[in-house]
Structure 1
């Protein structure tokens, strides 16, 4: 074995180790944030229950409830997005996909995930821009409650970023599976 071939082998081995480490780390973060996001349904339910009790029993409508529940729902599905990608729990149109072999599915996924990555990059850039604007100008919602919008925009941008990282990890997994290898 020549020195150049040995160097190339070591370089590929280090690259595979780096990809494995990236996938492992992103999967762990997505899992943790996703499990946290799952429990956001309880405070959201409590807020809506409180609103119903105050309105129906006491006749006292609360104007911030609907906005707060919308903010909680946005955090719920955007923070949980990466976790659902990790679990492969997202919606997929299964006309021909189910008839393919696992290797062909991995090849198909590796190509289609590139469009998702592009979409998430554009969405993330817009989220960062919108969050910066929100912070710079202390943007508030045009309602009676008038909450600051930067906290929810920052959470949404963070959720999109996590989905982007998880999508890249999924791409690496699909490429490895298409090559007949595993990143585990």
Structure 2
């Protein structure tokens, strides 16, 4: 366990994983993820906040709704490194004509959560989200950890799970059956 002095020296955004763990009551073992290999395969560095989330939780599902993807997941639907996780989007809220998005989470209801890979420093990547593939992207200037925390804690958040559940939980990939694998590409809402 880190000492208070060690935690104070870490950037604040790295603490979101601890906040999400507290909200979900998660106390699972740390996951070992081959970050260097994943980053080589992707051709880019990943945000530290996301790496801490990945090591804290691994691949799995929050509240039986939010499927969290990490490299090396044995579940295809929860594997970060897939050809369909990276896409180029047309017009978007940032005003650029074509941008690279890397998807790190989804829901069975068709929501997509990505980073806008617009900066060489991944710590500055905003979250882009949309309800389904026909909706425009929304930009959130926060980390993945903060975005998940707000989904779980803020009933007013546009992608809130807090308005549906009073308590929150996380189920690791071995204990969940992501909708994509269970039902193909069909729409199957869990909430």
Using the size of structure 1 for normalisation, the TM-score is 0.24
State the structure with bigger RCO (CA 8 A, min sep 6), 1 or 2.
1
Structure label with greater radius of gyration: 1
Q: Which structure: greater strand fraction?
A: 2
Q: Which structure: greater helix fraction?
A: 1
Using the size of structure 2 for normalisation, the TM-score is 0.23
